[in-house]
Amino acid sequence: MKQVFAVLNEMVRDGALEDYAVAGAIGAMFYVEPFSTQDIDVLVIMPEDGIVIELPGIDYLKARGYTEFRNEGIVIEDWPVQFLPATTDLEREAYLNAEISNFEEVPVRVALAEHLVAIMLKVGRPKDLARIQMFLEHDAVKMDKLNDVIQRHGLTEKWADYNRKFAE
Amino acid sequence: MKENSEVAKFYRHKDQQRKARAKRPVAEKLAVATKLRDVQQKLAPARAANKAKRAAGKIDIRIKTA
C-alpha cells in the first residue's frame, strides 16, 4: 500500500497525473475502521470521460513495469488501482478538496470524509449505506459540512430517505 | 448535475463483479482479509488525526463546485 501511494505521488511529481484523490473503501479507511475491499480507487481529472484505458499516466506506469490488470485496475505493488474520472460536480469537488494524510510517513491525498459520504449516498448500494452509518457512528464527519455538501449537490432527498430508513 | 456519473456506474459494475467473486476459495479470502487488517492497523494514526480535526472544527471545503 505504501508503495502504491509513493507511485501515485511520483506520477504527480513527474507530470503523468495532474493530481489525484484516494476515494472508495481505502479512502474511507482513513476515517473509519473495518472495510472489505481488494482495490484502491483514485479520483483523477482526465481530458475526457473514461476509465483506466484513457488514463494519462498509463504509459508512465507501463514504463515502470506495471503492466498487469486485475479487476479492471492496474496492479501496482500487488494492489489493483482503479483510476476513476471525476466527472460530476461532486466528484470534482472531492478531488479538488482532498487533503494530504499520511500512510507510514508517505503523504497521500485523500478525499474528505464529507465528500466520501456524499458519494456513497449518491451511489446508494447497500454496502455504501452501511458505510455511511459507520462514518456517522464514529463521528468521522463534520455534520454541518456534510449537510452543506448534500444540499449543494442535490442529494437532500436521498439523505432524507437514508435518515428515514436508518436513523434511530 | 450529471446524475449517472462514470464513478457511480463503475461502482455498480464493481459490485456485480464482487458478487461473482464471492465463490472464490476461503484461503484467498483470508489472504485479502489479512492484507486489509494490516492496512487498517497502519491507518490508525491517520484516523485519529482526522477525527481530532473534525472535533476541533478544522475542516474547510475551500472549493465549491455547486
CA distances from B63 to A20, A41, A97, B60 (A): 15, 22, 6, 9
Report angle CA B16, B20, B23 to the nearest 5 degrees.
145
Q: 10 Å Cβ neighbour count for B26?
A: 7
Q: Do A34 and B40 touch (CB under 8 A)?
A: yes
CA distance A30 to chain B (A): 5
Question: CA-to-CA distance for A82 and A80, rounded, in angstroms?
Answer: 6
Question: CA-to-CA distance for A83 and A5, rounded, in angstroms?
Answer: 13
Contact status, residue A51 vs residue A72, Cβ threshold 8 Å: yes
- Write down the pLDDT at residue B47: 94
**Residue B1 pLDDT class (50, 70, 90 cuts):** very low
Does the CA dihedral A145-A146-A147-A152 come out positive or negative? positive
**What pLDDT digit, counting tens, does each position of A21-78 carry?**
999 999 999 999 867 788 899 999 876 554 545 567 888 999 999 999 987 789 999 9
The three cell numbers locating residue A34: 473495518
Q: Do A119 and B12 touch (CB under 8 A)?
A: no
Q: What is the DSSP letter of A39?
A: S
Which of A26, A112, A119, A123 to probe by mutation at the B interface, max B CB count within 10 Å?
A: A123
Question: CA-to-CA distance for A26 and A151, rounded, in angstroms?
Answer: 25
Which alpha helices (DSSP H) does A2-88 contain, by range? Answer: 2-13, 24-28, 58-63
Q: What is the DSSP letter of B24?
A: S
Q: Global pTM?
A: 0.86
Q: Do B15 and A127 touch (CB under 8 A)?
A: yes
**What pLDDT digit, counting tens, does each position of B28-45 carry?**
878 888 888 889 899 999
- Residues in chain A closer than 8 A to B28 (CB atoms): none
Lateral strand order in the sheet of A21-23: A69-70, A73-76, A79-85, A40-44, A21-23, A106-110, A99-103
**What pLDDT digit, counting tens, does each position of A67-91 carry?**
999 877 899 999 999 998 898 999 9
What number is the ipTM of this complex? 0.80
